[in-house]
């Protein structure tokens, strides 16, 4: 009989504020056995990270454990004093954070940070500590560890940095690792490697792992058991197979139904909303007042030919010594009127750069862009571009930084209308009210400021702003990757409605292959600035031609064990 | 790196030229030095002769050009008031100002950073709140008032410290120092506090806000999660990351310590270049004013250059040439 490593019983965490008591976690239970990976899943604000911080004794004040116990190998650890917690923290229980770009000190070398931690916990000599640091880097799969140990964090790529973070967490041979969204900030291929590493560690060293994530794909592929949280409470817990395959609780069902599947194409995501979060979107009303322009003769709305973009990498007074980096290299594709064209690729593949060149936010360094037979790349002055810019609008990834926090929502939505002088006087306010009404926020939302809205609501404001000029072409740059899965399902439904009812053409950029499969008619795969393959979505997913596409598809979580409850009527 | 330094030095030279030009254009309005230099029984012929002799009949760009031509050869002209070479007077006066600036700069940086860290770590403590409230006095009271208050308290009422002057000095080569004699050390205390108080509170408040920001960063949380001691986390991980913006402001403030020494030197009758400048303005002593202004701008520009190079020393991210980034 193995001993339970970490046992959380009836844990409640309270954050008293001036107005009221905020209960972040309410009577949560969770147990981790040696060698087991226990997934903790839920949407933002569910309290999953708070549980991690509570176990580590790292709750931000005024948060505190109000009731319940946390036991490590049968011994209560909550209520220990600062020194007692420190003896445990890092030594027996380690933590891995989400963003490898910010969790390493930028001013110390990787070696200095490792040696410091090893010396503190294991009291080894300088030489032995360094030897162990190199062994650890080698263990987590960093090539040439004896050289790289003297480098600074910025000299490592994102995936390599996360390996360093894991090495740091392993310094003291912990029994439990709490991994808080360890792969959320990483590309899909890197994500697979890091998860594989965590699985290996759990198996070899019999480490217990608590894997906190919002990603059902990670849960399905990695964990043995899973606990689902909703608004601070555990709603369901059990083996991964059972919870994902036959969920018992309504919330788990709605969460699983909202996950985009790589193998099933749905018409719309089911609105199995839990907790009254479903918000109506009135596309029919919007379509009635929509001025549709004449369709193009050729059927092609946007044509991109040999598009190239270079960035200055290191400057020099002498032009011949300047180094350039080619972000986009002779990319060509065309988008038919009324279709959704997807671009997929890993970070740094140049997909966002392509979008920005089409939106005329970046100057091109070669190649041509045609929109409705006009060559856009020949237009130079802002005045010439005006009419083109009205017809294309953009929705950005981060709903928090893409709205000006000092402007009221109605001003934000009215701005493009005023800029292009489309309407005057009361008609502007009328259009703003109508748009807010249609995206399901209500016209009174116009008098508020962006910070009063949640991420999903903000993305609706972005959509309303993009629709204000009645565009023909919408560029969506990772529109849902910052959102929770149920909110993502709502936004994707809205975008599908826009395409279907308003005849909008879209460029949809994403790194998330299942989402692309749900959204796009055709897909282009980009890698290191080049377009590797362009094909119909179904063809691409069923029989990819290029090796790189096959590799990308093979890394995609399969999600085969997921319940299809609620999806039956929507499968295409 | 070398290109960068060269570029900065060229920029600095340009800044100096412009500062000099502006200074010379303003000398037109400070008054006529001839009035002070010739006595009551002067004739028009005397005035015209002296004016030509000093080159004051020339338009100011020409005067500026001549000044520059001589200055690059180390000749800053002769003081109208004292009749001695300006370079000689400056060398004689500079040690007093530089010592005062160094002592108050040291006080400002060491106490400022120390208190800043303390108030950031014990964010809600009684001591931290008391220090923060008191620091408002340092920020809001003007220098001359602080000086007068200190003189009243420590010299007039308590009689502990001298109210003016530099005390006894020791000569080491051409450098004269007051830091090696008892009366010299006593004399520097009040002016140094007066001069450095504002910078100290400013640095303290800046270090505090930067430190609070850094303490929220993931790498600090991760360092705590690895079980490292609070002292290691606060000083090794947090403080060093706080320093980059602090160095920028501190560099600018060191320049203004030297420039603001004018007021403190006047209040304490400190025999430095600031007092020299004030006297020169009263007498319209153009060569002294010109040399002083150029000296101050050289210092400002020099300090800024050093600050920029310090960034490279502290932040490894600026040092890379793109190698091994991936």
Judge whether B326 is closer than 8 Å to chain A, CB to CB. yes
Give which of A227, A230, A217, A228 is closest to A561, Cα–Cα. Answer: A217
CA atoms of B215 and B308, how far apart (whole Å): 25
**pLDDT given at position A567:** 75
| In A426-520, alpha helices (H) | 426-438, 455-467, 485-502, 513-519
Residue with tokens 């480098």: A151
Predicted confidence (pLDDT) at residue B57 exceeds the cutoff of 60: yes
Average pLDDT in the B147-162 region? 85
Residue spans per domain, chain B:
86-319
User: CA–CA distance from A149 to each of A97, A113, A312, B71 (Å)?
Assistant: 21, 10, 29, 52
Q: Among A240-249, B50-59, B132-141, B228-237, which stretch is predicted with the lowest mean pLDDT?
A: B50-59
Nearest CA in chain B to A312: B322
Count Cα neighbours of A462 within 13 Å in the Cβ-side half-sphere.
30
For residue A528, cis peptide bond before it (omega within 30 degrees of 0): no
Mutation pick from B10, B212, B214, B219 vs chain A, by most beta carbons of A within 10 Å, is: B219
- Taking contacts as CB-CB distances below 8 angstroms, the residues of chain A near B226 are 89-90, 94, 117, 120, 168-169, 171-172
Is B218's CB within 8 Å of A97's CB? yes
* pLDDT tens digits, one per residue of A396-435: 888 888 999 899 999 999 999 999 888 888 889 989 998 8
Structure tokens at B110: 């060491």
CB half-sphere exposure, B221, CA atoms < 13 A: 20
What's the rounded mean pLDDT across residues A97-109? Answer: 85
Mean residue pLDDT of chain A comes to 87
Three-class DSSP category at A472: coil
Tell me if residue A304 falls in helix, strand or coil.
strand
The answer to whether the Cβ–Cβ distance between B317 and A117 falls below 8 Å is no
The reported pLDDT for the residue numbered A242 is 92
| For chain A, percent of residues with pLDDT exceeding 90 | 31
Chain B residue numbers touching A177 (CB-CB < 8 A): none
Residues of A in contact with B223 (CB under 8 A): 105
Within 8 A of B218 by CB-CB distance, chain A residues are 97-99, 102-103
Burial class (CB in 10 A: 0-12, 13-18, 19+), A147: exposed
Is the separation of the CB atoms in A174 and A32 below 8 Å?
no
Q: Is the pLDDT of residue B324 over 60?
A: no
Query: Nearest Cα to A516, choosing from A334, A335, A265?
Result: A265
Tokens linked to A21 = 């008591």
Residue of A nearest to B244 (CA): A107
Structure tokens, A153: 């964090």
**Which pLDDT belongs to residue B282?**
83
Q: Do B227 and A323 touch (CB under 8 A)?
A: no
Interface size A-B, in CB pairs within 8 Å, comes to 93
A155 touching B, CB under 8 A?
yes
CA B244/CA B246 separation, integer angstroms? 5
Provide CATH code, domain B86-319: 1.10.3720.10
Separation between Cα atoms, residue A286 and residue A515, nearest integer Å: 25
For chain A, state the CA radius of gyration: 26
Across the interface, whether the CB atoms of B221 and A154 are under 8 A apart is answered no
Of A56, A102, A152, the CB nearest to B225: A56
In the predicted structure, residue A279 carries a pLDDT above the cut 70: no
| Contact present, A382 and A559 (Cβ < 8 Å) | no
Chain B partners of A110 at a C-beta cutoff of 8 Å?
Answer: none
**CA–CA separation, B223 and A120 (whole Å):** 12
For the segment A377-382, the average pLDDT, to the nearest whole number, is 83
- Could A94 and B322 be called an inter-chain contact, meaning their C-beta atoms sit closer than 8 Å? no
Q: How does pLDDT run across A145-180, given as a tens digit for each residue?
A: 888 899 888 888 888 888 899 999 888 888 999 998
Q: What percent of chain B has pLDDT over 70?
A: 97
What is this structure's pTM?
Answer: 0.77
Measure the CA–CA gap between A463 and A396, rounded to whole angstroms: 9
- Please check the confidence at residue A272 and state whether its pLDDT lies above 60: no
Looking at the complex, does the CB of residue A162 fall below 8 Å from at least one CB of chain B?
no
Supply φ then ψ for residue A95, to 5 degrees. Answer: -135, 145
- Give the per-residue SS3 of B96-158: HHHHHHHHHHHHHHHHHHHHHHHHHHCCCCHHHHHHHHHHHHHHHCCHHHHHHHHHHHHHHHC
Domains of chain A: 6-257 (3.40.50.300), 338-363+380-554 (3.40.50.300)
């Amino acid at each position: 009989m193995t001993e339970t490593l970490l046992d959380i019983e009836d844990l409640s965490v309270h954050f008293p504020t001036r107005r009221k008591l905020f209960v972040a976690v309410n009577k949560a239970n969770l147990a981790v056995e040696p060698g087991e990976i226990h997934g903790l899943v839920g949407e933002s604000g569910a309290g999953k990270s708070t549980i991690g911080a509570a176990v580590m004794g790292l709750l931000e004040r005024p948060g505190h454990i109000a009731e319940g116990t946390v036991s490590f190998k049968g011994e209560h650890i909550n209520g220990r004093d600062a020194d007692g917690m420190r003896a445990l923290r890092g030594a027996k229980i380690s933590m891995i954070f989400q963003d490898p770009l910010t969790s390493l000190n930028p001013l110390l070398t990787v070696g200095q940070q490792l040696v410091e931690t090893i010396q503190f916990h294991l009291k080894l000599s300088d030489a032995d500590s360094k030897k162990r640091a190199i062994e650890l880097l080698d263990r987590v799969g960093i090539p040439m560890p004896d050289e790289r140990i003297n480098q600074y964090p910025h000299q490592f790529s994102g995936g390599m940095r996360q390996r360093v973070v894991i090495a740091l967490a392993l310094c003291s041979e912990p029994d439990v690792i709490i991994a808080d969204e360890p792969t959320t900030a990483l590309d899909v291929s890197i994500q697979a490697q890091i998860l594989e590493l965590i699985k290996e560690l759990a198996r070899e060293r019999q480490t217990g792992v608590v894997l906190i994530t919002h990603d059902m794909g990670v849960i399905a592929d990695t964990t043995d058991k899973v606990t689902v949280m909703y608004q601070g409470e555990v709603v369901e817990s059990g083996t991964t197979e059972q919870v994902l395959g036959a969920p018992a609780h309504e919330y788990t069902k709605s969460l699983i139904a909202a996950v985009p599947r790589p193998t099933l194409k749905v018409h719309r995501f089911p609105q199995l909303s839990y907790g009254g979060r479903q918000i109506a979107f009135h596309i029919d009303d919007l379509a009635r007042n929509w001025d549709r322009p004449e369709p193009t003769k050729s059927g092609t709305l946007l044509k991109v030919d040999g598009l190239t973009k270079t960035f200055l990498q290191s400057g020099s007074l002498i032009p011949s010594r300047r180094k350039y980096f080619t972000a986009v290299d002779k990319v060509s594709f065309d988008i038919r009127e009324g279709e959704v064209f997807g671009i997929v690729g890993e970070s740094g593949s140049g997909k966002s750069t392509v979008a920005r060149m089409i939106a005329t936010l970046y100057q091109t360094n070669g190649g041509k862009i045609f929109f409705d037979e006009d060559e856009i790349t020949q237009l130079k002055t802002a005045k010439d571009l005006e009419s083109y810019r009205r017809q294309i609008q953009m929705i950005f990834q981060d709903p928090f930084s893409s709205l000006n926090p000092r402007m009221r929502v109605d001003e934000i939505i009215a701005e493009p209308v005023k800029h292009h002088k489309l309407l005057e006087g009361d008609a502007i306010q009328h259009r703003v009210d109508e748009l807010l009404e249609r995206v399901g926020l209500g016209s009174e939302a116009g008098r508020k400021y962006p910070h009063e809205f949640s991420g999903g609501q903000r993305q609706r404001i972005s959509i309303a702003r993009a629709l204000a000029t009645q565009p023909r072409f919408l560029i969506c740059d990772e529109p849902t990757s910052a959102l929770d899965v149920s909110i993502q399902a709502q936004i994707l439904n809205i975008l599908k409605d826009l395409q279907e009812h308003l005849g909008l053409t879209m460029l949809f950029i994403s790194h998330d292959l299942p989402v692309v499969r749900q959204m796009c008619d055709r897909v282009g795969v980009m890698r290191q600035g080049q377009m590797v393959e362009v094909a119909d979505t179904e063809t691409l997913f069923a029989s990819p031609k290029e090796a790189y596409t096959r590799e990308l598809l093979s890394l995609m979580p399969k999600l085969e064990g997921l319940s299809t409850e609620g999806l039956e009527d929507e499968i295409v | 790196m070398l290109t960068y330094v060269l570029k900065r030095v060229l920029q600095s030279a340009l800044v100096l030229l412009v500062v000099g030009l502006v200074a010379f254009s303003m000398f037109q309005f400070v008054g006529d030095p001839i009035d002070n230099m010739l006595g009551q029984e002067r004739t028009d012929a005397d005035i015209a002769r002296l004016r030509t002799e000093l080159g004051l009949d020339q338009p100011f760009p020409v005067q500026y050009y001549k000044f520059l031509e001589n200055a690059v050869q180390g000749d800053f002209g002769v003081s109208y008031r004292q009749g001695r070479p300006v370079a000689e007077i400056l060398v004689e006066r500079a040690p007093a100002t530089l010592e005062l600036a160094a002592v108050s700069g040291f006080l400002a940086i060491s106490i400022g950073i120390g208190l800043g860290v303390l108030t950031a770590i014990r964010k809600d403590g009684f001591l931290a709140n008391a220090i923060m409230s008191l620091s408002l006095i340092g920020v809001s009271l003007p220098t001359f008032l602080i000086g007068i208050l200190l003189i009243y308290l420590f010299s007039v009422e308590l009689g502990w410290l001298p109210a003016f002057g530099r005390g006894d000095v020791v000569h080491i080569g051409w450098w004269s120092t007051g830091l090696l004699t008892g009366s010299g050390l006593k004399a520097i205390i009040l002016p140094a506090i007066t001069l450095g108080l504002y910078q100290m509170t400013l640095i303290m408040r800046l270090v505090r806000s930067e430190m609070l920001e850094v303490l929220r960063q993931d790498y600090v949380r991760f360092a705590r999660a690895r079980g490292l001691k609070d002292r290691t986390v606060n000083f090794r991980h947090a403080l060093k990351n706080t320093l980059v913006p602090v160095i920028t402001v501190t560099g600018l403030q060191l320049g203004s310590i030297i420039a603001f020494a004018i007021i403190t030197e006047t209040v304490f009758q400190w025999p430095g270049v600031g007092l020299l400048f004030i006297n020169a303005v009263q007498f319209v002593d153009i060569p002294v004013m010109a040399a002083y202004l150029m000296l101050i701008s050289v210092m400002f520009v020099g300090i800024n250059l050093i600050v920029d190079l310090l960034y490279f020393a502290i932040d490894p991210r600026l040092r890379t040439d793109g190698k091994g980034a991936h």
